Amino acid sequence: MRNLSLILISMALLFSASTQAAESTKKSKSKSKNKAPAQTAAASYAQRSDAMAWAERMAQENQLDPQWVKAQVAQAKLIPSIPKLILPPAQVSQKNWAAYRARFIEPKRIQAGVQFWQRHQALLLQAEQTYGVPQWLIVGVIGVETFYGQHTGNFRVLDALSTLTFDFPMEHPRAKERQAFFSKELAQFLAIAAKEKINPTKLKGSYAGAMGLPQFMPSSWVNFAVDFDGDKHIDLFNNPADVIGSVANYFKAFQWQTGMPTHYPVTFNRDQLDMDALMAPDILPTFSVNSFQSKGAVIEGDALLHSGPLALIELLNGNEPPSYVAGTENFYAITRYNWSSYYAMAVIELGQAVAREIPSKP
Ligand SMILES: [Ca+2]
């Protein structure tokens, strides 16, 4: 299992694609009595002694100019909707793979994926050759995250991360850990802006601070983003080479194994299935082909020749019967981008649906 910050990154990313609709709904309700735009009413952190003390401390820890850091934090504004968005939903709706799938595996997104692939064919091939990560995976991730750059988020990242650092809702079940996480993300964000000489107020992202076409959190940017076109800058907003190379590098860093399938079909007779044992490790691949079969899972063909461990992946379909697949270590690797088997499956199916539309070359 990975560390907490990755859980939090992925939780933030998990909701990145769906937050804008929720946000606009909430905004229109809360503003019904008050026509003023949110920015007018928003409190600035310039007057907050805790924020200024944080800036001082953060500048020292990261060898940044304290005056510059304070001047940036002073421009940050509280976004009142964000503390509500970060709270777990009051009612957990039943998971539904069929509904989730329909949001992502649909003609418009596939068509945008085909255009993205054709436009960036050379870069995708170069990334595959450099990192051993298939082109369809890179295309699938960017499509699920941001619809190929159409939905990269409309919050100023500086405001979003400042709000989650200085005004994190204390009623959150893991408030202290998450606030500490976002404090580090804000520090990393400012370090990126300083290094790239970007005005931090110009960068927009999700309410949790995920940025650019691949929706990298600042810590992911610092640790995994690459300058893939060699222009001495990393730009995940406008530079397709850096975007494509960074996604591929991320999966290489999380042990993507070149050539290994992500999953195999699986069937079973429920009476002969040791469901408790198979579900115990959740999505972590644990069972050899032999032990998977001895517990009642039925796999065929190539799956029988698989040499690594497998996991029984269950995807709920609301009131309909669940879907199951046998997930490999590469399926697990995709969940390191976002801790959700539903997310991983959507990335796989979108990427492969796009790939089927790309004429294969000799
Ligand atoms: Ca670059």
Question: What pLDDT score was predicted for residue 294?
Answer: 97
Buried b or exposed e, range 191-221, using 16+ CB within 10 angstroms: bbbbeeeeebeebbbbbbbbbbbbbbbbbbb
Query: Which residue is listed with tokens 């299992």?
Result: 1
* Alpha-helical segments (H) within the chain: 4-14, 19-30, 38-41, 49-61, 66-75, 81-86, 97-104, 107-119, 121-131, 135-146, 157-166, 175-196, 218-224, 240-253, 275-279, 289-294, 329-334, 341-357
* pLDDT of res. 13: 41
What pLDDT is attached to residue 30?
A: 39
Does residue 81 contact residue 38 with C-beta atoms inside 8 Å?
yes
Residue 234: both structure tokens together = 């990393």
**What's residue 17's pLDDT?**
35
Distance 66 CA to ligand 1 centre (A): 28
Distance 129 CA to ligand 1 centre (A): 18
For the purposes of burial, counting CB atoms within 10 Å of the CB of 63, is it exposed (0-12), middle (13-18) or buried (19 or more)?
A: exposed
Q: Is 343 exposed, middle or buried (0-12, 13-18, 19+ CB in 10 A)?
A: buried
Report which residue type is found at 349: E
Q: 150 burial class (0-12, 13-18, 19+ CB within 10 angstroms)?
A: exposed
- How far is Cα 229 from Cα 130, in angstroms, rounded to an integer? 12
Cα of 270 from ligand 1 centre, angstroms: 52
Contact 117, 139 (CB under 8 A): yes
Distance (Å, whole) CA 299 – CA 296:
10
Contact predicate 96/316, CB 8 Å: yes
- DSSP one-letter code for 94: P
Please report, in tens digits, the pLDDT of each residue of the chain (362 residues total). Answer: 333 344 334 444 444 433 333 333 333 333 333 444 444 456 899 999 999 999 999 999 999 999 999 999 999 999 999 999 999 988 878 899 999 999 999 999 999 999 999 999 999 999 999 999 999 999 999 999 999 999 999 999 999 999 999 999 999 999 999 999 999 999 999 999 999 999 999 999 999 999 999 999 999 999 999 999 999 999 999 999 999 999 999 999 999 999 999 999 999 999 999 999 999 999 999 999 999 999 999 999 999 999 999 999 999 999 999 999 999 999 999 999 999 999 999 999 999 999 999 987 54
pLDDT score, position 360? 74
Catalytic annotation, residues: 145
113: tokens are 């994926």
Q: Are the C-beta atoms of residues 306 and 259 closer than 8 Å to each other?
A: no
pLDDT of 189? 98
d(CA 215, CA 206): 8
CATH no. of 4-91+151-229: 1.10.8.350
Q: Are 156 and 124 in contact (CB under 8 A)?
A: no
CA atoms within 13 A on the CB side of 38: 16
**How is the chain split into domains, by residue range?**
4-91+151-229
For ligand 1, the distance from its centroid to the CA atom of residue 236, given in whole angstroms, is 9
Q: How far is the CA of 122 from the centre of ligand 1 (A)?
A: 16
CA–centroid distance, residue 116 to ligand 1 (Å): 18
DSSP label at residue 310: B
Taking the C-alpha atoms of residue 221 and residue 336, their distance in angstroms, rounded to an integer, is 15
